[in-house]
Structure 1
Amino acid sequence: MPQSDPSDSPDSPSPKSLTVLLQLWQFMKPYRGTLVAAGIALVLTAGITLSIGQGVRLLIDEGFVAQSTEALTQAVLVVIGLSFLMALGTYVRFYLVSWLGERVTADLRSAVFGHLVTLHPSYFETNRSGEIMSRLTTDTTLLQNIIGSSFSMALRSALTFIGALILLVVTNLKLSLMVLIGVPLVLLPIVLYGRRVRKLSRASQDSIADVGSYAGEIIQNIKTVQSYTREAHEKQAFDAEVEVAFNVAKRRVKQRAMLIATVILLIFSAITGLIWVGGNDMLAGRMSGGDLAAFVFYAVIMAGSVATISEVYGELQRATGATERLMDLLNVESLIPVEQGQAYSEARSFKGPLLRFDGIEFAYPSRPELKALTQLNLEVPAGQSLALVGPSGAGKSTVFELLQRFYDPDAGHITIGGTDIRDLNTQSLRQQLAVVPQQPALFTADVWYNIRYGKPDATDAEVIAAAKAAHAHDVIAKLPDGYNSHLGEQGTRLSGGQKQRLAIARAILKDPKILLLDEATSALDAESEYHVQQALETLMENRTTIIIAHRLATILHADNIAVMDHGKLVAQGRHVELLQSSPLYRRLADLQFQDGAAEAMVKVDDVI
């Protein structure tokens, strides 16, 4: 895998400002009441924090300087009371803001995932699953921290900064002018370094996604890695990915560290200068000790606010990058609309063939220069079976992809009963189909869930009946917990043949109008294949079926056989006819049936 620095990627543009965070408002809008309550608590705590400065002034001027025990006690009680109110307000603010962060993040994750599962498959051909998962998990977790903590800290610091600045002016105008001159000097590095942090934050998120994507791919194919003894190579390659991510993160951390260090140096230099000027004024009698203490208190509050803002600013830059990545996902438009179009109607009277492929031209979006299908014309009458045969790359699987409308043809039409499938509601269309793939997909759940996936409302009795029909019941009964047994990730606890029987049971349970079989018995032993073939023949009765066949012995009795090569239909007919008329079919038969077996099959077929 080639290494690259994500920060140099042209596909990773940095947002120009924090305005991208405003896109989060659509997720916060339903919780405006909570947001308002948190804002009120935030304002109150900021106000109470600033009021403590006046308590400090009273404590010094009315208590220490005046040497009044009563005034000292009152000042201490005021400070304690304000501290209690500040603690209570902080509790309310922290709880509400943290709740809001958790809630908005949950809604955002749900929205992103809900959108992902509706996207066209070609999107996942050009975007790695690891990167998508990083956006769904890492980026949303980052936003959770920002909304639930950092954002409220930034608002609180901004309020206390403004309030402290106003009170500084009220307390001492001359010192306040010095502060106003120093503030731009402190804010300048925040802006300058913030731009660099923003760019590196997006690059850091991308590099972390690369690490997760690489690790996920290796773990998913761990048996292949170990079979070819490539553990050391993959560890070295993964280490290189980690180093790329570390180097980007190191640059980001360095910029943030420089930002924080610069702000701290400027702030404390300014406070020291203020104390020196204010101390001289106090010694000269131009201001009281309490005023100086209050002024220093407000200056420290301002300094702390600026320091917090400078630190949180870096987090907000990261949030900007994370938000942009998530919004990129939400803004992807599916090329295949799911809910548009008319619903499939069982009552519709079909005229002519149930399925028709008319002049189909198609190339996969990820390789547009290579035609997968060229001028394909096929007809499948209702209730009959069509077998697709041909060498690898002939376009057989592409027919299934187009029929399920994972892609739309570049030219031509696919019709069901004369209705173009693009005019049908896609979900309604797919509900009429059941696919038994050569490599069945199972989920990390129990047997009930996996078989019931095609019909979620099926009863236990229906699931068991489907399993028996697929000759999977005995296999399931031997599992540790029977139908309650969890199958592991991608069904790793089952053999290939056992997985396929569960997939067949799933299709049987769904009871589809159109059945798609991709060499559904290829992973079974001879005895199981015989029994499952019987079950499939029962399932295929009076049902429109398309079969992708690699072993010709499984489709000898198909109503029609289409021979494909390089995306084109080169011959069509029954087994006996094709042995005589199609050189390609004859060659495939000779390769599979040993020494004259093809001729023997002709005679058998003639007898049948």
Structure 2
Amino acid sequence: MARAPQGSQEDREKSKNIRALTGLARFILPYRGLALAAVAALVLTACVSLVLPMAVRRVVDNFNSEDVQILDQYFLAALGIAGLLAIGTALRYLLVTLLGERVVADIRKAVFDRVIAMSPAFYEKIMTGEVLSRITTDTTLILSVIGSSVSIALRNILILIGGLILMLITSVKLTSLVLLIVPAVIVPIIVLGRRLRVLSRENQDLIAESSGNASEALSSVQTVQAFTHEAPSRAAFASVTEDSFRSARKRVKTRSVMTAIVIFLIFSGINGVLWIGARDLRLGDITAGELVQFVIYSVMVAGAVAALSEIWGELQRAAGATERLVELLNAKDEVQDPENPVALPQAEQGTVSFENVTFHYPSRPAQAALQSVDLHVKPGETVALVGPSGAGKTTIIQMLQRFYDPTSGRILLNGVDLRDMARSDFRRAIALVPQEPVIFASTARENIRFGWPEATDAQVEAAAKAAAAHDFLMALPEGYDSYVGERGVMLSGGQKQRIAIARAILRDAPVLLLDEATSALDAESEQAVQVAVENLSQDRTTLIVAHRLATVKQADRIIVFEGGQIVATGTHDELVAQNGLYARLARLQFTEGLAAE
């Protein structure tokens, strides 16, 4: 299986911009109250942490005091500060975690809402597995950042700034020496941080590619096994997974080196400063309590810088994840609803018109799938579309649902251009039975009800009877409430097709699209379904893509396609008499089939 194209180097360079995290602002703003409360708790804990060394200083300086009561008060004050710190920290954790969970849930819903409405052209460029990876893996990263890293980063920034100010108040001399270390610490953070951002984006891209590869193989596992393709599939997945590991290894090594350098520089500098402070203590330039206070602040500031250097890496990864999610949210769909959609007229039930329609699939711009197609289907008319594979028959079905827009020309339903209506509006007037029936991992009843979610059980069962599905559904262990498995793996091809037909019957739409609807049925089931389809199509506009003689002969008109163009139109007898492409197809597909029967 070929790999889907992933983020280019140019795309990955975008992850140098940590400001990508601002893309989360629109999801946080609705919960600004919760966010402000979290920030307040965060500020409280930072301030309490900064006050604690002052209490320790008082205790140390009063160790030799004869007034035991003062010493007790200082110890009680220190205990009270510790209690405030515990409460504030717990409150901060509660608020930021709730905020993170809420925001990530909203992001997941927003991304899914966006991609579920994207036209098929979008999925020609990206694997569904990668989309799922972005919804799961990338949002998990963002949850980690919002629910933990950001609050820890803000707290450490406050401790860093406050600690430096209090260090300066405690000893200007020692603080000045500490500040000399800062440039040496910032340089590796900036230099290695740039490399880390690129590697973080690359790693996320490869994780998504790995997920896409696995999703593709597992969704077609029977085909993989039938063609004994397990070994190549394992090799392809192993290859992309190893690429992901190698990228992660480079990212982890870079981050480890950065962390080691920063921590060594910080604590080496503090060690030197303490050496000077110890000498000042001996000379009486500073008290023991002041030195202890300065040491604690130094450790707090050093810890804050070290924590920020580590959190910086997490923020960079989250920035890459945010970019990828924002890309999905901002992805431009080739098919757009108009700003002021026109309502579908109901005066004419199911008038379909193609006016000089030419169309190229986005992935094949040089090859016309349809070329100058003119087609008019009257209300209640049944039209069969026939022709060799790749002639454009299924493309007609897809374009009538506006999965794609024509390169030129117009497609009208009830006299209105599809591009002038909301897709959700006119699609309600269309029922589809696809060539490959789609069965969802639910019960048989809910699969049929998919065509009309508000339908009653009686209506569902009536549709199943009309599609010749009732008998086999009742024979299942739990009848209509039997679980049919992912993609209907517990059903035969014919059973899945009959459920798909029942779904279309239940929808009761004025336009019916049948794309090889009876291709997977046995002769007996086909006859039963054919009667149901004929009854269903009597007062509906019906477009049928079919090869079987019984289906095609019953059509009011047969349209013959070849090379994306209409090459003949007429009834079965008229087209056979013309002795053209249709007559040749009839001899090959129909006459021989009848002889075989």
- Provide the TM-score with structure 2 as the length reference: 0.97
2:322 counterpart residue number: 323
Q: Is 2:53 the partner of 1:53?
A: yes
Q: Is 2:229 the partner of 1:230?
A: yes
Deviation at 1:233, TM superposition (A): 2.2
Contact 1:338 1:427 in 2 (8 A): no
Contact 2:115 2:328 in 1 (8 A): yes
- Of residues 460, 463, 466, the one that matches 2:460 is 463
**Counterpart residue identity of residue 188, structure 1:** V
2:123 counterpart residue number: 124
Partner Cα distance (1:400, 1:545) in 2: 11
Q: Deviations over 1:152-201 (max 9, x none)?
A: 00000000000100000000000011111112211221111111111100
Q: Deviations over 1:216-259 (max 9, x none)?
A: 11111111111122222222222111110011000000011011
1:309 counterpart residue number: 308
Q: Partner of 1:126: helix, strand, or coil?
A: coil
- Once structures 1 and 2 are overlaid, which stretch shifts more, 44-53 or 415-424? 415-424
Q: Partner of 1:12: helix, strand, or coil?
A: helix
1:155 counterpart residue number: 154
2:244 counterpart residue number: 245
2:342 counterpart residue number: 342
Q: Deviations over 1:498-531 (max 9, x none)?
A: 0011001101100010000012111111111111
2:578 counterpart residue number: 581
Q: Partner of 1:521: helix, strand, or coil?
A: coil
2:168 counterpart residue number: 169
**Counterpart residue identity of residue 109, structure 2:** S
1:603 counterpart residue number: none
**Counterpart residue identity of residue 370, structure 1:** Q
2:30 counterpart residue number: 30
1:362 counterpart residue number: 359
Deviation at 1:4, TM superposition (A): 10
Partner Cα distance (2:227, 2:2) in 1: 21
The alpha-carbon distance between structure 1 residues 204 and 67, as it changes in their structure 2 partners (threshold 3 A), is farther
Contact 2:3 2:209 in 1 (8 A): no
Contact 2:348 2:414 in 1 (8 A): yes
Q: Partner of 2:294: helix, strand, or coil?
A: helix
Q: Partner of 2:431: helix, strand, or coil?
A: strand
Partner Cα distance (1:458, 1:35) in 2: 43
1:12 counterpart residue number: 12
Q: Deviations over 1:61-82 (max 9, x none)?
A: 01x2436533332222111110
The alpha-carbon distance between structure 1 residues 597 and 195, as it changes in their structure 2 partners (threshold 3 A), is closer
Deviation at 1:6, TM superposition (A): 6.5
Partner Cα distance (1:6, 1:499) in 2: 35
Partner Cα distance (2:226, 2:245) in 1: 30
1:561 counterpart residue number: 558
Contact 2:344 2:416 in 1 (8 A): no
Partner Cα distance (1:313, 1:597) in 2: 73
The alpha-carbon distance between structure 1 residues 575 and 5, as it changes in their structure 2 partners (threshold 3 A), is closer
**Counterpart residue identity of residue 520, structure 1:** A
Partner Cα distance (1:122, 1:8) in 2: 20
Deviation at 1:378, TM superposition (A): 1.1
**Counterpart residue identity of residue 283, structure 1:** R
Partner Cα distance (2:139, 2:590) in 1: 57
2:513 counterpart residue number: 516
Q: Partner of 2:181: helix, strand, or coil?
A: helix
The alpha-carbon distance between structure 1 residues 482 and 520, as it changes in their structure 2 partners (threshold 3 A), is same
2:144 counterpart residue number: 145
1:183 counterpart residue number: 182
Q: Is 2:402 the partner of 1:400?
A: no
| Match runs of 1:440-459 below 5 Å | 440-459=437-456
For the aligned residues, what is the CA RMSD? 1.7
Contact 1:7 1:199 in 2 (8 A): no
2:102 counterpart residue number: 103
Partner Cα distance (1:457, 1:44) in 2: 52
Partner Cα distance (2:94, 2:228) in 1: 52
The alpha-carbon distance between structure 1 residues 540 and 6, as it changes in their structure 2 partners (threshold 3 A), is closer
Unaligned runs of 5+ in 2: none
The alpha-carbon distance between structure 1 residues 267 and 7, as it changes in their structure 2 partners (threshold 3 A), is farther
Partner Cα distance (2:275, 2:574) in 1: 105
Q: Partner of 2:368: helix, strand, or coil?
A: coil
Contact 2:547 2:589 in 1 (8 A): no
Q: Deviations over 1:380-426 (max 9, x none)?
A: 11111100000000000000011000001011111223221211221
2:44 counterpart residue number: 44
Partner Cα distance (2:454, 2:321) in 1: 39
The alpha-carbon distance between structure 1 residues 106 and 597, as it changes in their structure 2 partners (threshold 3 A), is closer
Q: Partner of 1:286: helix, strand, or coil?
A: coil
**Counterpart residue identity of residue 488, structure 2:** G
- Once structures 1 and 2 are overlaid, which stretch shifts more, 474-483 or 449-458? 474-483
Q: Partner of 1:438: helix, strand, or coil?
A: coil
Contact 1:172 1:295 in 2 (8 A): yes
Q: Is 2:568 the partner of 1:571?
A: yes
Q: Deviations over 1:419-466 (max 9, x none)?
A: 212112211110000011121111111122211111111111111111
Partner Cα distance (2:152, 2:243) in 1: 32
Aligned residues, how many?
A: 594
Contact 1:164 1:299 in 2 (8 A): yes
4+ residue segments displaced more than 4 Å:
1-8, 595-598
Q: Partner of 2:353: helix, strand, or coil?
A: strand
**Counterpart residue identity of residue 424, structure 2:** Q
Contact 1:3 1:240 in 2 (8 A): no
2:91 counterpart residue number: 92
Contact 1:440 1:500 in 2 (8 A): yes
1:278 counterpart residue number: 277
Contact 1:6 1:12 in 2 (8 A): no
Deviation at 1:11, TM superposition (A): 4.0
2:549 counterpart residue number: 552
1:601 counterpart residue number: none
The alpha-carbon distance between structure 1 residues 435 and 596, as it changes in their structure 2 partners (threshold 3 A), is closer
